[in-house]
Structure formats: structure tokens, C-alpha cells
Structure 1
Amino acid sequence: MSLGPYASFVVTSYVLATAVVLVLIAWIAIDYRRQKARLRELEASGITRRSGRGATEI
């Protein structure tokens, strides 16, 4: 398969785009875990979410 004279540019672009997407996925996964841990800490300390209450509790 011949990619022509711009093969290195095309391959480099795809590699960089893939790397950026993988970094973003990892960042989102790590942040999700942090947010879940923080939410557990807050709920354990007695702070509740407004969305968790019923209409009669407001």
C-alpha cells in the first residue's frame, strides 16, 4: 500500500489524533472516579443532594 509523499504527515496526524482521544477518555474516567468519591464523602458527612429529596421534604 503506497500512501504517497505525504505518508509521514498522514500517519503522524492519525497517531496524534488517537493519542489526544485516548488522553481525553482517560481524563474523563479519572475525573468521574474523583467526582463519585467526593460525592460519597459528602453523603457520608450528612450532606444530601436536593435531587434526592422528595417534593414533600422541601
Structure 2
Amino acid sequence: MPDLGKYADAVLSSYAVSLVLLVALIALSIARSRRVARELHEVEERVKHG
């Protein structure tokens, strides 16, 4: 770990916030992808049987 001196708290908290935001964006993207795929499947089934 490099010596960050008096900026250690700011740098490490920035890394932590960035990591949390990246994880949240990935989770939201996966959730939206699954929802859209499910909705598309439902529409395709309605069209196929309708």
C-alpha cells in the first residue's frame, strides 16, 4: 500500500464510494436485464398464443 500521508482518509473513502457505486450499477443493470428479458418472453408468449 502506498503511503498516502494526510490524504489517506480522502483517497480511501473515495475508493470505497466508487466501489459501492460500481457494485450498485452492476446490480441494477443485471436486475433490469432480467426484468426486460422476462417481459419480452411474456410478450412473445402472448403473440404466439394470441
TM-score, structure 1 normalization: 0.65
Question: Structure 1, unaligned stretches of length 5 or more?
Answer: 1-5, 48-58
CA-atom RMSD in angstroms:
1.3
Match of 1:55 in 2: none
Percent identity among equivalent residues? 20
How many residues in Structure 1 have an aligned counterpart in Structure 2? 41
Question: Where do residues 1-58 of structure 1 align in structure 2 (5 Å cutoff)?
Answer: 6-7=5-6, 9-46=7-44
Please identify which structure carries the higher helix content: 2
Structure 2, unaligned stretches of length 5 or more? 46-50
* Rg (Cα) greater in structure: 1
